[in-house]
Amino acid sequence: MSANSLQLSEYLEKVQGTTFRRLYQQPSAAFAVFRRMLPHLAKTIVMALLYMPTPLSASDLDIWVKPTSKRQKDQAISVLQSLHIIPKEASTISLTKNFKSSLRLALEGGGDHNSFGVPSSLPVAPEIDVPYLDNWARQRWDSILHYVVNSVGISDGSRMTGDKTNGPNAAVKELLIGGRLVERRSTSVHITQAGFTFLLQEANAQVWTLLLLWLEAAETNPRAGLDHVDMLSFLFLLASLELGRAYSTDALTESRRNMLPFLVDFGLVFIPRNDNKSFFPTRLATTLTSSESSLRSVSAGFTAASEGMADSQDKNAVILETNFRIYAYTSSPLQIAVLALFCELKMRFRELVSGRLTRNSIRRAVDMGITSDQIISYLATHAHEQMHRVAASSKKPLLPPVIVDQIRLWQLDTERMTATPGFLFMDFDSVKEYEQVRQFAETVGVLKWADDKKGMFFANKVEQIRDFMKNRRKDDQ
């Protein structure tokens, strides 16, 4: 299994309709998919259909949408069909039964489904508050990130960070290796290209990447005794819980209680040492279906939502000069280790490290999978407040253009071609068939290249095109 493809939307597009029917039996799951997975227009369509007594005809839906927004409407319908929220092969548009009933329960309340957890009635230790949970979860998640960062094998970076963490437990390490975020080479472990991409993702995307690796591992290993559909449903349940509140484990099924130790390893759930009757969801869990994506975890060591989760010194800490020198006001071993991935660090003081961007340091990062755009984005995201003030007062770019251009040029020295995985469509029965299928691929946003003269095109996804071609051939018969 490859970590490159493990995004929640792509994962859900691959599962079968029976999986969705089971998943949508839980109101928390239907509500989470509605919140996280749907574009704005798709949400509008769902809310319009939710209390509609009869199905809506396609012509009536076209009246609701401006002619100039036809492409957005087709994309919204395609997303709803791929998530089995509306039937794929129907002349009218309506919500599937399980999704409709569960979403209405989620919005209206009521029922005894316990889909949103059961608060614990047991007394809670006074020290277990939100800051305590934030700090505990940050330490857990940082240990995972440290393990990925420290597998680079850069002696200067490890010397600068001074980090001596033992990393996550063996199960999490095997998951990282199985997901190809790191790989074993003889007696040591090294980061992969997918690992660099994972490292520079936003915190929420990092968490989902690891969780989906866990789901896929459960699918391929039935002996583990974990049902991947129930696992995903439980994750959606955790996302709906309240941060800082204790919830009863007695209200969980046995299979879900068996999942808790894994979630503790990930930092999503905290269980008091002397109390296995209750658990606390951490901020990592309660923000699983959040749309917040502005901050990045590698500087703060954690997710963006909480001001208490990251020290102020780790925010906007990087100063970049036109002579390629970098200064970072931080004492975070994790942030220093990340800087060491693409910088040559020279000196470290109590709350300051300095280094330099060089051709060799950028090429080393590129060779290991980091792109120039990722480096530039990282530097811009973590630029010091003084850089923002200077850029605003002088009306100049935040990062010196000469630095940005040179970073990209250094990457071009090693990369002259970009590979896009996908599927080539050719040998159509007629020009009309080619044009219709190509137009559909362009409409749903999967078309990457086309040659109308030769009657062939290239798309990065095949599922929606395959369904379209099947339906088209049925109509022609």
- pLDDT tens, residue by residue, 325-348: 999 998 888 888 889 889 999 999
Helix locations, 240-289, DSSP H: 254-266, 283-286
pLDDT confidence of residue 151? 62
Residue 259's closest CA among 274, 237, 288? 237
CA 17/CA 30 separation, integer angstroms? 14
Q: How does residue 192 score in pLDDT terms, banded at 50, 70 and 90? A: confident
CA 279/CA 137 separation, integer angstroms? 13
pLDDT confidence of residue 477? 66
In the predicted model, is pLDDT for residue 240 greater than 90? no
CA 149/CA 130 separation, integer angstroms? 28
The total number of residues shown for the chain amounts to: 477
Q: Averaged over 156-160, what is the pLDDT?
A: 46
Radius of gyration of the chain (CA): 25
pLDDT confidence of residue 156? 43
| Residue partners of 440: CB distance under 8 A and separation at least 6 | 464, 465, 468
Q: Averaged over 126-150, what is the pLDDT?
A: 89
Q: Averaged over 297-310, what is the pLDDT?
A: 36
Q: Averaged over 127-139, what is the pLDDT?
A: 91
pLDDT confidence of residue 409? 93
Residue 5's closest CA among 198, 293, 290? 198
> How far is the CA of 86 from the CAs of 55, 98, 462, in angstroms?
10, 11, 20
pLDDT confidence of residue 329? 93
| Residue partners of 329: CB distance under 8 A and separation at least 6 | 313, 317, 319, 351, 352, 384
Residue with tokens 């395609």: 78
CA 221/CA 213 separation, integer angstroms? 12
pLDDT confidence of residue 312? 42
CA 37/CA 448 separation, integer angstroms? 23
The tens digit of pLDDT for each residue in 35-90 reads: 888 889 999 999 999 999 899 888 888 888 888 888 899 899 988 998 899 988 77
| Average pLDDT in the chain | 83
Helix locations, 54-192, DSSP H: 58-64, 70-82, 97-108, 130-149, 155-161, 170-178
Planar angle of CA 90, 94, 99, nearest 5 degrees? 120
pLDDT confidence of residue 302? 34
Q: How does residue 303 score in pLDDT terms, banded at 50, 70 and 90? A: very low
Annotated domain spans of the chain: 3-108, 130-286, 311-412, 423-476
pLDDT confidence of residue 261? 92
Write out the H or E segment, with its range, that includes residue 457.
strand 456-459
In the predicted model, is pLDDT for residue 5 greater than 80? no
Which has more pLDDT, 174 or 166? 174
| Residue partners of 215: CB distance under 8 A and separation at least 6 | 11, 228, 231, 232
Per DSSP, the three-state class of 330 is coil
> How far is the CA of 328 from the CAs of 98, 388, 397, 400, in angstroms?
52, 15, 19, 17
Fold designation for 423-476 = Alpha-Beta Plaits (3.30.70)
